[in-house]
Amino acid sequence: MDMFLAVLGIVWIAAAVIQDLKSREVANWINFSLVIFALAYRSFYWIFSGEQMFFLSGILGLAIFFIVAHLFYYLRLFAGGDAKLLIALGAILPTAGGYYENALIMLFFILVLLAGGGVYSFCYSILLSFISWNKFLKEFKVQVRKNAFYLVIAAIVSAVLATFSMFSGDFVSALASVLIILISALYVYVKAVESACLIYEVSPDKLSEGDWLASELIVKGRKINPFWEGISQEEIEFIKKNYKSKVKIKGGVPFTPAFLIAFIAVLYVSYFVGFDFMLERLMRFIA
């Protein structure tokens, strides 16, 4: 990977991580300025070296990640700030000479981002549960009672599959048995963490655009429903004017550290393994 783009990416992602951890949002100027600096550098590189492909690969990467980011956003995998950061990194990542190698770099980044992000989010949730252990434990018991019927059904189905696999030696049944138990337990755990550790109250004047309401809010007969994109500025002004009590807000796990993990993974492979080597091995495997 180009050294300047690597440093630019690390610095800007680090800035996004710091802001995300402090305020739970990533400012637009971070994402937009990253695109501007990356494309400006690529254009100057093209002018002075004559390598047009270096500039075009940045434009193509930006376009591809624009589509991917919107897909993740509407699938509710990413919040708005995360989606914009992903778009901006599209102008950074493609630095290889060929299309296939650039495609592999971007695919590798996405896979590590999702897999590493999942592991990071789970570890972060464990930290939250330990910080608010008593509250979490109480809510976990509530969720177990609340979902007792479904948990019993899951346990019965899992037991049937496990018994079948023992007598038939069917690996798929054994795997399904384990997955049913794990997914059921994970669901209860996530709901407990969300209710005990991620929901808090703020006064109306502390609300920010994009905050997620924890539940439906009725203000002077007007219903303001929880929405994935969060509350709008118009709704905030209406709440400030007509609602004096505190508002329940649902927080989330700051996801930008997963971008840093994925970007470092790309740098490691670029400098110590080589995506050209990975592409060669992949083509041999496919053939």
> What is the model's pLDDT at position 217?
87
Look at residue 96 in the predicted model and tell me its pLDDT.
Answer: 67
* Per-domain residue ranges of the chain: 3-118+255-286, 199-251
Pick 3-118+255-286's CATH classification: 1.20.120, 1.10.3470, 3.30.1760, 3.30.110. Answer: 1.20.120
pLDDT tens, N- to C-terminus, the chain (287 residues): 789 999 999 999 999 999 998 887 888 899 999 999 999 999 999 999 888 889 999 999 999 999 999 999 888 888 888 999 999 999 999 876 677 888 889 999 999 999 999 999 999 999 999 999 999 999 999 999 999 999 999 999 999 999 988 888 788 888 899 999 999 999 999 999 988 988 888 898 888 877 888 888 888 888 888 887 788 888 888 888 888 888 888 888 899 999 999 999 999 988 888 777 776 776 676 65
pTM: predicted TM-score of the whole model, two decimal places: 0.82
How deeply is 7 buried, as exposed, middle or buried, from its count of CB atoms within 10 A (0-12, 13-18, 19+)?
exposed
Q: Which residues are within 8 A (CB) of 182 and not within 5 positions of it... i.e. 6 or more apart? A: none
Segment 112-117 long-range contacts (CB within 8 Å, at least 24 positions apart): 112/261, 112/262, 112/265, 112/266, 113/86, 113/258, 113/259, 113/261, 113/262, 114/77, 116/258, 116/261, 116/262, 116/265, 117/255, 117/258, 117/261, 117/262
Contact indicator for 28, 87 with CB cutoff of 8 Å = no
Q: What is the pLDDT of residue 287?
A: 59
* Residue 238, helix vs strand vs coil: helix
